[in-house]
Structure 1
Amino acid sequence: MTAADDENDGQATERVVIRDRRKIDPKAEAKGTAAVKEKPPVGAHRAAEPEEGAGAEVAETAVTAFGAELEALRNELDERTHDLQRVTAEYANYRKRVDRDREKAAENTIGVVLTALLPVLDDIDRAREHGDLVGPFASVAESLTAVTGKLGLTVFGEKGDPFDPNRHEAVAHQTSADVTEATCIEVMRRGYTLGERLLRPAMVAVADPE
């Protein structure tokens, strides 16, 4: 052992430092690091993407469910439409029935009033036949006749009318060579109708052909 060796044993061993004087580009190093970090593992994208068969099956199921729901909505709409049409028809029939009943009730009321006035009209007819319908009484009679006519009262029964058992009441019969069918030859009391309703038949004498 030399003196130099003894001297080294007594002192601390110096650290060896290796210096690399090659130039390193920081940008290239950063890009390399990012590329390493961003590179996905092999097969990762395959695991994330669903299989083609499974996606088609899900889409078909969704379309089927949507079609069933749409069909149910259409059926419900048709049912509600039919209900509305039925209610509308029933309401229209109800209104027609109410209007018809109202008109009938009004006609019946008018008929009752006019029937009560028929004896007065008979007196006016007799006064007219005897020439007594003059002066103020004539004006009153004409006004009453006009009012009853506006209410729908129609008079019938004239000498020479064909006899109609539905409209005439025969109180006398005789035969005559001057007629070819049953004919009213005398009117004792005229008849009245209200619209198509017969209020009172005409009282007549009838001549039958020989």
Structure 2
Amino acid sequence: MTEILEKYIPQASVVSAFELIKTHKVHLKIVNERVTRHGDYQKMPNGQHKITVNASLNKYRFLITLVHEIAHLEAFTKYGRLIKPHGLEWKRTFQLLMLPFLRPEVFPNQLLPLLARHFKNPKASSDTDAKLALALKQFDPENDKNYIFEIPFGGHFRLYNGKIFKRGNQRVKRFECLEVSTGRTYLFNPNAEVEFLK
């Protein structure tokens, strides 16, 4: 398992990540990219804990996602299945599990202050933290995607499902976007990845 982990997460995090997997008896499955999520946790009918993580993630995002999902497992085990999936119990668990990884041997120096800020109150997805998401994106392979906040007002973009939108005004955090074919307005997180139609 450590040889597999070495392909997906920073070298200095492999031993600690493997210990988490072993301690929690996790069946880790690395899967093809899913557009809607980076990973997920399921307790199987046979009682086994299965965590899936997208193979396409860069090594820093992969590690954060893996620990995020193990935090779900640990929080549900410790506090019961009735807690909110991303509630206070999960946040505290995620913070504690992530703390040993927040060091310069694991993450580049430019990410550490952003991670420290993010983990004061971790969100359901690191993607909802615009500064952290943008910083993590620089470690992704080159692609033709842009974030919504990079699309100019009135600019058109395409989603992974082929639907075309026109970017509108920014509300407090999210952007109003008009679906061109239906005229319906949707709200998008600022760092949703889309294809800019120039």
- The TM-score, its normalising length taken from structure 2, stands at 0.24
Structure number with larger C-alpha Rg: 1
Q: Which one has a larger percent strand, Structure 1 or Structure 2?
A: 2
